[in-house]
Amino acid sequence: MEIHSTAVVSPKAELAEDVKIEAFSVIGPRVTIGSGTVVGPHAVIDGWTIIGERNQIFPFATVGYPPQDLSYRGEETQLVIGNDNIIRENATINRGTQRGGGATRIGNQNLVMAYAHIAHDCTIGNRVILANATTLGGHVRIDDCAILGGLVAIHQFIRIGAYSFIGGKSGLRMDMPPYMLAFGAPAKLYGPNLVGLRRHGFPRTTIQALKNSYRIMFRSGLTVVEAIESIRQEVEDVPEVENLIQFMLGRSKRGVTR
């Protein structure tokens, strides 16, 4: 274990043997940090926080502090972070609230860029990118491989589907369908996330099926039920199209971006 002489690490914190804590960082008594994780200078990690292996936490990040929610009264709520995540300078990640499920959860291989904020009770999957100054309200769910551009603001209780892309300086106030691209304040759909789908190696047949599904679901004027029936009759049956259909059938608290 390598702990800089100026770092303040509680003797009650549980750190793996090869964790590195750099200068002037503060680690609270209820923190657990897994093997290979590096905590950069001036970072603060506190609260009931569990951090997995091989994470990189950059200077001035604040991880595991209480939620910015007036209902919070010091309850034992958690922040759980997986493996191989990168948390850049001045990012802030809050713990959960009791009424929101008790935990903020972040999966594996995510990139949280500088000044990004992840609020209480958010759930983030794997290989998600939050660009600089992205702000998540409470209770946001982001599925795998979604990308949020710089200065994006996400309303509370929003779900963002897998492999979607939200352009910079956008404001999202309704759920974001998977595999799609949106931009604006408020954000609007502009079709499938073609560049992202190609970069992730989706075959042409799948991309074409998603393009056809987008046209029917969001641009035909049909109701959701009518659009799903049409898609199942007209569009090639691929798992991604079924995922889109199930997303549209799910219970949305704020509606779906179109």
Which residue matches tokens 């959701």? 224
Class (C level, CATH) for 2-142: mainly beta
pLDDT at 62: 98
Is CATH 3.30.70.20 what the domain over 198-249 is classified as, yes or no? no
Is 138 one of the catalytic residues? yes
Domain boundaries, the chain: 2-142, 198-249
Rounded Cα distance, 80 and 96, in Å: 10
List 28, 42, 46, 121, catalytic entry:
121
Q: b or e along 97-117 (b: 16 or more beta carbons within 10 Å of the residue's beta carbon)? A: beebebbbbbbbbbbbbbbbb
Rounded Cα distance, 207 and 240, in Å: 9
Is 121 one of the catalytic residues? yes
Q: Which two tokens stand for residue 134?
A: 């992205």
List 28, 40, 46, 120, catalytic entry:
120
Query: Tens-of-pLDDT digits for all 258 residues of the chain?
Result: 899 999 999 999 999 999 999 999 999 999 999 999 999 999 999 999 999 999 999 999 999 999 999 999 999 999 999 999 999 999 999 999 999 999 999 999 999 999 999 999 999 999 999 999 999 999 999 999 999 999 999 999 999 999 999 999 999 999 999 999 999 999 999 999 999 999 999 999 999 999 999 999 999 999 999 999 999 999 999 999 999 999 999 989 899 999
Q: Which two tokens stand for residue 151?
A: 């200065």
Rounded Cα distance, 178 and 250, in Å: 12
Q: Which residues contact 39 (CB under 8 A, 6 or more apart)?
A: 19, 20, 21, 22, 25, 27, 33, 45, 57
List 100, 137, 138, 149, catalytic entry:
138
Task: Give yes or no for a contact between 34 and 52, defined as CB atoms under 8 angstroms apart.
Answer: yes
pLDDT at 46: 98
pLDDT at 135: 98
pLDDT at 253: 87
Q: pTM here?
A: 0.97
Indicate if the alpha-carbon torsion angle 137, 183, 116, 54 is positive or negative: positive
Burial of 182 (0-12, 13-18, 19+ CB in 10 A): buried
